[in-house]
Amino acid sequence: MLKTFFSLSYVDLKKNSQHYKLSLLGFIVLGLIDAIPWEGMNYLENSGPEILSQVVIFLLSIIVSVDVINTQKTLLTEMPEEKLLFTAPAFLIYSLYFTICVLLGLVLFILPGVLALVFLTLAPFVAVLLNEESPMKASIRLTKKNPLLVAGMAIILLAIELFPALFNFLPRWEVKFFLELLFIFPMALLSLIFIQTMVRVTLFLEKL
């Protein structure tokens, strides 16, 4: 079933590529910013610019992600596209809630962190897609309908988030920079298709 959802998202991306061009470009630009080799810039005496760039990347990634969600929702439901001004803050808040719950769960005990990763992974998307008073509770409710499907999406999300961190173990910043540039487009495309698929999965589970 997971493969089917991703296949549908890929077909949808090809069919409606004009709607996603700016979003894909946004993910590519964010990847380029993230790939800036700060450690190779010896004239920088503090980590201020690097920290600032990470904050900017995070906030812009929220905006680009919500733009993809709104576009996909409009294409699937034919509902008018909602404004980023209203949907982006909700996605940001519940993304932070989700992250905090997962981290706290992992720190206290590993199992609660894993359960939070699975059962709360839909919360940011529910906050944008569905009219729910409590997106966290709604995420748990939807996940119970098909735990394996949501667990698969959660694992893919974790892999997308952790993959860039692997480059930090490379001894030379030049090699790290080259590999990050090499993977910018594939990761941008994967991120876009993943978000599309999360929208499909959320709406699918809501109809069950």
Q: What is the DSSP string of 137-178?
A: HHHHHHHHH-HHHHHHHHHHHHHHHHGGGGGGG-S-HHHHHH
Higher pLDDT: 24 or 175? It is 24
Which two structure tokens, joined as six digits, stand for 208?
A: 């069950």
Percent of the chain with pLDDT over 90: 69
Question: What's the whole-number mean pLDDT along residues 84-109?
Answer: 91
**Residue 198 CA: distances (Å) to CA of 20, 42, 177:** 16, 41, 30
Range of the domain at 154: 2-207
Is the pTM value of this prediction over 0.95?
no
Structural contact between residues 140 and 101, judged by C-beta atoms closer than 8 angstroms: no
Question: What's the whole-number mean pLDDT along residues 185-207?
Answer: 96
Structural contact between residues 54 and 177, judged by C-beta atoms closer than 8 angstroms: no
Average pLDDT taken over every residue of the chain? 90
The pLDDT of residue 181 = 93
* Dihedral of alpha carbons 114, 30, 64, 52, sign: positive
Q: What is the pLDDT of residues 122-151, one digit of tens each?
A: 999 999 999 888 999 999 999 999 999 999
The pLDDT of residue 83 = 80
Percent of the chain with pLDDT over 70: 94
Question: What's the whole-number mean pLDDT along residues 21-45?
Answer: 81
Structural contact between residues 81 and 71, judged by C-beta atoms closer than 8 angstroms: yes
CB atoms within 10 A of CB 5: 20
3-class secondary structure, 182? helix
The CA distance from 94 to 88, in Å, is 10
In 35-163, which residue ranges form alpha helices assigned H by DSSP?
48-77, 84-108, 110-119, 123-129, 135-145, 147-162
The CA distance from 36 to 34, in Å, is 6
pLDDT at 44 over 60: no
DSSP 1: -
Total domains in the fold of the chain:
1
3-class secondary structure, 199? helix
